[in-house]
Amino acid sequence: MSTLDFPPRMSFLTLENVAIGFGPENQRVNVLEDVNLSVRENEFVAVIGFSGAGKSTLVSLLAGLERPTAGKVTMAGEEVVRPGPRRGVMFQSYSLLPWLSVAGNIELAVKQVFPGKSKAEVKEHVERYIEMVHLTPAKDKKPHELSGGMRQRVSLARTLSMQPEVLLLDEPLSALDALTRAVLQDEILQIWEQEKKTVVLITNDVDEAILMADRIIPLTMGPRATLAEAFPVTLERPRDRRTLTDNPDYQHLKTEITSYLVRLNREARAARGGSIIQMPDVAPRDFTPPSKIRGLKWKNTA
Amino acid sequence: MEFKYKILKGIDISGLNFLSPVVRLATGEEPAKQLREIGRFIVVPIIAFLAFLWLWSVVAPKHKTKAGEVPTPAVVWDATGGIWRFHEYETQKDQAYQLTGGTRLDTLGKAKARMAELDALEARAKEQLAAAEASSKEKFDARVAPSKKAYDDAREASKDARRTRTEALKAEAAQLAGATPEQRETFLNHLRDADAAAEAEKKSLDGLKAAYADAQTVTFPETKDARRTVTVLAEERQFLVKYLDMLGDNSREAKVADAKAKAEEARSAFLNAGPDEDLYKLGSTVLKRQELLATTAASQYAKPWTLPKQIVRSLLCVFSGFLLASFIAIPIGILCGLSPTFMAATTPFVALFKPVSPLVWLPIIMIIVGGFMPDPENHWLIVLLGKVPFLGNYKIDPMFLSSAITVALCSLWATLVNTALGVGSVDKDHMNVARVLRLGFWSRLFKIVIPTALPLIFAGLRISLGVGWMVLVAAEILSTSEGIGKFVNDMYTNGSSQSFAQMFVVVFIVGFIGMALDRIMVVFQRLVSFETAGSTL
């Protein structure tokens, strides 16, 4: 295999035999083990897994916030040793600075990443990204005055404003209600179409993954979780959520992924064997105050 | 409507939440609910305070002290007026001394007119007092007479009884010469009985005497009022005499004119002196007189310390200490929050020194400060502070510095601990953002760490200021540094019933200022709190 067979940056962001564990060395349990991933430039990859499988740890590794205990994380051929603005992270918890306004939060990132920009340029840059996420009317509001969806938009704008080469989205929409989530999914997709960036989306929502990604990679159950065989999503873009559900390919893919995940779950439970902890059989005590109704001593007498 | 919400927000930020139902009621929002709220948060506290005043005025006079009765609210209110009048008079004298030209003469004329008025007023007040005393004398006699008579009668009766008993016993003793031991024993018993009887009489006499004394303590409101009027007028007369003096012959203008004339005279004497006169002596006289003229022109009325001025000095002192504490505590607190190692190094000091009383710190600090300033009058720092425009009027001395440092030492701990806590509680996600952005140490500190810690830092500062204010009065009493504490100490040493009441005034003033300082800090605290306001009170 010669290098010419691959267009340049064919594997832009990679994980090679990566393992990470926590705790002292002699009793360390690996959260992730033997993880291999290769993301092409401008590819949209979704990693799907159950909660607690180590999805956020995977993002931390990709971002450089955590160093692997074994293996290597590389981006564009360089090893990732520390976090930086080339890999923009969007956290599930928004991570907005509550004392800064919407514009202030974005400005902080812009000023830091583009120190050469003049005041006017910074302002223009900030406003462009606020406009991109449709928040211009709220640009002077503080995060606590915004709804969850709006906050996540600010977070998206901040991440995009750094003009990262890779966008790491760590369950960005899982804290939002279904309607807001749908709107934001469309917005993120639309922006991705415009800006064409490499995206790694961490999610626990199969529909979301199919709607957005080029490739869906399941994460097996932890501990010692690893990435399983990928499901390529060949559905045509732009995908319309209204018609998508009627598409037989979509239905097929969804069934396939869902049944795979269900099987994973069952296997994991079987692997734990009979060690399932029996819950004690206790009923909660009744602390309701005495009833005011005459003749009834307690409101809820069992 | 917009305006209304602005007011409500202001009320919320300043923590004066009891006012918000008033605003809501004024704008016609749910009147029944607002009236209920007003009832609970405004009327109830007022009733409680009135009940307290009533209880106070009933209980206080029951306890007699060396400085007279414990003052009632009315007496304390009166004392407040006294303190204020003293301040007003002194301020007027101070101003009067510096007046010149037409203004001075105008003021002088007015003061003279007031003096003439005062003569009439005083005469009338004295008449009223005499009348009141005469009428109360009758009431007094009527009230006292029965108990006095009972006491006098009982005393006479007891005297007589004792005399009779003694004579009888003496007569019995005279016949004991040939008596048997048994008979002598009987006599001893008689003696004992007589002693017991005398003792019982003495006891009942004491009771009557106390009743008599009690009857005498009655006071009559009309005499009290009349006497107070006379006292107030006498005070004013005393002031006016001095005031007229300050405006007239003893005004700075008059003194300067006098000194100028003398200087001129000496100068012309020197210039026109004949050859046989002592030119050396005349020349030095000229210089001396000129110097005297300069000092006179710059002289000020030696205004005594009045309570308002002492309050300002106390506030200056507490703020100096508070600033000092903040400058020490905030940086150290930040270091503690950033570095667990530094925190470990600091913990023993915090634990050890935090509980130390200001009364221990103060003498130590006074000695240490004294060591730096063996000659405080000429120490560069004191001289420098004396030249600062506003501070210069408040006699910054080593005692002031010692009190301020003691305040700082006692109050810095709250800020230190809270700052460390605030800095230590930075959100991990925010730190991750900082790492992704590759913020440097200082950017992280100023853009993430300190903003996160600010609400807690201000919570600490608020506690510190409260502690500082409490410590200050104690420190001033002990160091006799001019201020509220000194005022209390003076009143305590003075020991009259008037000064006793003035100490009560101080209680309310100190409480009120402490409350105001706390409110100010609450406002700051809320302004820097980024999450929803109203979490703390």
Over 80: is that where the pLDDT of B205 sits? yes
Over 70: is that where the pLDDT of B531 sits? no
Which pLDDT does position B54 carry in this prediction?
Answer: 95
Residues B165 and B198 occupy one common structural domain: yes
Mean pLDDT, all residues of chain B: 88
Nearest-by-Cβ selection for A99 from B432, B443, B451: B451
Residues B339 and B274 occupy one common structural domain: no
CB contact under 8 A, B437 and A142: no
Residue pair A203/A174 in contact (Cβ under 8 Å)? The answer is yes
Residue-wise pLDDT for B392-451, tens only, equals 888 888 999 999 999 999 999 999 999 999 999 898 889 999 999 999 999 999 999 999
Nearest-by-Cβ selection for B530 from A65, A87, A98: A98
Nearest-by-Cβ selection for B429 from A95, A99, A109: A95
CB contact under 8 A, B432 and A142: no
CB contact under 8 A, B436 and A83: yes
CB contact under 8 A, B437 and A113: yes
CB contact under 8 A, A63 and B430: no
Over 60: is that where the pLDDT of B47 sits? yes
Residue-wise pLDDT for B140-191, tens only, equals 888 888 888 888 999 999 999 989 988 988 888 888 877 788 888 888 888 8
The closest alpha carbon to A40, from A88, A86, A75, belongs to A75
Average pLDDT over residues B22-26: 88
| HSE-up (13 A, CA, CB side) for residue B85 | 17
CB contact under 8 A, A112 and B438: yes
Quote the domain boundaries for residue B152. Answer: 101-231
3-state DSSP assignment of residue B72: coil
Residues B339 and B277 occupy one common structural domain: no
- A161-175, B153-167, B523-537: the lowest-pLDDT one: B523-537
Mutate: best of A80, A86, A90, A99, partner B, most B CBs <10 A: A99
User: A91 contacts in B (CB within 8 Å)?
Assistant: 429, 432-433
- Whether B85 maps to a domain, the answer reads no
Tally of domains in chain B: 4
Task: Report residue B347's pLDDT band, with 50, 70 and 90 as the boundaries.
Answer: very high
Chain B residue with minimum CA distance to A114: B437
**Boundary-marking domain end, from B15, B33, B62:** B62
Over 60: is that where the pLDDT of A298 sits? no
Which pLDDT does position A5 carry in this prediction?
Answer: 44
Over 80: is that where the pLDDT of B44 sits? yes
- What are B489's two structure tokens? 């100490």
Q: Provide the shortest C-alpha distance from residue B531 to chain A (in Å).
A: 6
User: A142 contacts in B (CB within 8 Å)?
Assistant: 530
The whole-angstrom separation of Cα B421 and Cα B338 is 10
**Boundary-marking domain end, from B177, B202, B231:** B231
CB contact under 8 A, B451 and A87: no
Residues B141 and B265 occupy one common structural domain: no
Mean pLDDT, all residues of chain A: 85
Highest mean pLDDT among A269-273, B26-30, B215-219: B26-30
Q: Provide the shortest C-alpha distance from residue A203 to chain B (in Å).
A: 19
User: Does the model's ipTM exceed the 0.90 cut?
Assistant: no
Residues B190 and B280 occupy one common structural domain: no
Q: Provide the shortest C-alpha distance from residue B338 to chain A (in Å).
A: 19
Residues B398 and B272 occupy one common structural domain: no
- What are B99's two structure tokens? 């007046």
- Whether B414 maps to a domain, the answer reads yes
Residues B358 and B380 occupy one common structural domain: yes
For residue B391, give the CATH number of its domain: 1.10.3720.10
Average pLDDT over residues B352-363: 92
Q: Give the end-to-end CA distance of chain A in Å, rounded to a whole number.
A: 75
CB contact under 8 A, B451 and A97: yes
- Whether B77 maps to a domain, the answer reads no
Which pLDDT does position A293 carry in this prediction?
Answer: 54
CB contact under 8 A, A95 and B443: no
The whole-angstrom separation of Cα B448 and Cα A105 is 11
Higher pLDDT, B389 or B341: B341
The alpha carbon of A47 is separated from its chain's Cα centroid by a whole number of angstroms, namely 8
CB contact under 8 A, A85 and B437: yes
Average pLDDT over residues B92-113: 87
CB contact under 8 A, B530 and A82: no
Chain A residue with minimum CA distance to B439: A112
Residue pair A45/A201 in contact (Cβ under 8 Å)? The answer is yes
User: B437 contacts in A (CB within 8 Å)?
Assistant: 85, 108-109, 112-113, 162
Which pLDDT does position B412 carry in this prediction?
Answer: 94
Residues B53 and B188 occupy one common structural domain: no
Q: What is the 3-state secondary structure (H, E, C) of chain A?
A: CCHHHCCCCCCCEEEEEEEEEECCHHHCEEEEEEEEEEECCCCEEEEECCCCCCHHHHHHHHHCCCCCCEEEEEECCEECCCCCCCEEEECCCCCCCCCCCHHHHHHHHHHHHCCCCCHHHHHHHHHHHHHHCCCHHHCCCCHHHCCHHHHHHHHHHHHHHCCCCEEEEECCCCCCCHHHHHHHHHHHHHHHHHHCCEEEEEECCHHHHHHHCCEEEEECCCCCECECCCEECCCCCCCCHHHHCCCHHHHHHHHHHHHHHHHHHHHHHHHHCCCCCCCCCCCCCCCCCECCCCCCCECCCC
Task: Report residue A2's pLDDT band, with 50, 70 and 90 as the boundaries.
Answer: very low
Chain A residue with minimum CA distance to B528: A99
- What are B262's two structure tokens? 């003398």
- A213-222, B425-434, B488-497: the lowest-pLDDT one: B488-497
- Whether B396 maps to a domain, the answer reads yes
Higher pLDDT, B2 or B517: B517
CB contact under 8 A, A95 and B532: no
- What are B491's two structure tokens? 């009143």
Q: Where are the domains of chain A?
A: 3-269
Q: Which residues contact B358 (CB under 8 A, 6 or more apart)?
A: B406, B407, B409, B410, B471, B474, B475
Over 50: is that where the pLDDT of A75 sits? yes
Phi, psi of A19 (to 5 degrees): -135, 145
The alpha carbon of A83 is separated from its chain's Cα centroid by a whole number of angstroms, namely 17
Q: Provide the shortest C-alpha distance from residue A144 to chain B (in Å).
A: 6
CB contact under 8 A, A99 and B532: no
Residues B267 and B215 occupy one common structural domain: no
Residues B355 and B496 occupy one common structural domain: yes
Which pLDDT does position B134 carry in this prediction?
Answer: 86
Output the CA–CA distances (angstroms, integers) from residue A124 to A188, B439, B452, in the order listed.
21, 22, 28
Output the CA–CA distances (angstroms, integers) from residue B159 to B59, B170, B194, B211, in the order listed.
39, 16, 13, 20
**Boundary-marking domain end, from B35, B62, B89:** B62
Mutate: best of B430, B432, B433, B439, partner A, most A CBs <10 A: B433
Superfamily of domain A3-269: P-loop containing nucleotide triphosphate hydrolases (3.40.50.300)
Residues B279 and B412 occupy one common structural domain: no
User: A113 contacts in B (CB within 8 Å)?
Assistant: 437
CB contact under 8 A, A89 and B530: no
- Whether B452 maps to a domain, the answer reads yes
Residues B448 and B507 occupy one common structural domain: yes
CB contact under 8 A, A99 and B427: no
Chain B residues with a Cβ under 8 Å from any Cβ in chain A: 427, 429-430, 432-433, 435-439, 443, 447-448, 451, 454, 528, 530-532
